[in-house]
Structure 1
Amino acid sequence: MNTKSRALAIAASLLLGATAVAQAQSSSGHIAGSAVAGETIVVDGVGNGFHRELKIDKDGKYAIRRVPVGIYVVTRNAADGSAGTPQRVEVHVGVTARVK
């Protein structure tokens, strides 16, 4: 193998390695907020099938990690089961979307 071919082979190997690392990185973000103890937070993805429900404990803070990138509807349901006003949040890679 001549020098030019060897350099080309090394460059191709590095490029393939960089592609594998990029694909291994997460394509998700997080959703966080606060609520009243006893409430339930319901998170539904718009068009992606993602669904999570969290019962809020005494400190009132919550975080849902590794949420796929996309648009979500977050609803705070009271302890008596009544639904709150849904909020729309958008999750971006590596970012925490805050629910107010």
Structure 2
Amino acid sequence: MDRGALGKTIKSTAAALAVGLFFSAGAVAQSSSGAIIGEAKIGDTITIYGTDNGFKRELKIDEDGKFQVRRVPTGYYDVSIKHADGTEEPSKSVVVKPGGAARVQ
């Protein structure tokens, strides 16, 4: 193989590797989080707290009574529900896995 052909082969291989690395990095980034889903009463406030990472999110339940928190870092979470009348339910523990949805029961 002459130098010109060898140079083209090396460049083509390098370009293919660069494209492959670009797309694989995106796949890794997408799989480092998940979601927490569940149901509660209209007007309830849901608090999600990551026991091992400090992540915290609070949201109020709207008309359909369902909630979904996306892009939650993987890990262990306590989810508490405070009702509109001020009473609270005991917190529930869930585990968020990469690309998964942890359901609060």
Specify the TM-score bucket, using the shorter chain as the normaliser. 0.7 to 0.9
Q: Which one of 64, 85, 89 corresponds to residue 80 of structure 1?
A: 85
Q: Which one of 67, 81, 100 corresponds to residue 72 of structure 2?
A: 67
Tell which deviates more after alignment, 11-20 or 50-59. Answer: 11-20
Tell me how far apart the structure 1 counterparts of residues 75 and 41 of structure 2 sit (CA, whole Å): 26
Is 1:41 matched up with 2:56? no
Say how many residue pairs are matched: 100
State the match for 1:24 in structure 2. Answer: 26
Identity of matched residues, %: 40
Letter paired with 1:17: V
Tell me how far apart the structure 2 counterparts of residues 9 and 49 of structure 1 sit (CA, whole Å): 45
Tell which deviates more after alignment, 68-77 or 78-87. Answer: 78-87
Cα drift, residue 5 of structure 1:
5.3
Offset from partner CA, 1:39-70 (integer Å, 9 cap, x none): 11100112222111111112110111111122
Letter paired with 1:70: G
Letter paired with 1:73: D
Q: TM-score with structure 2 length normalisation?
A: 0.79
Gaps of 5+ in 2: none
Letter paired with 1:57: D
Is 1:97 matched up with 2:102? yes
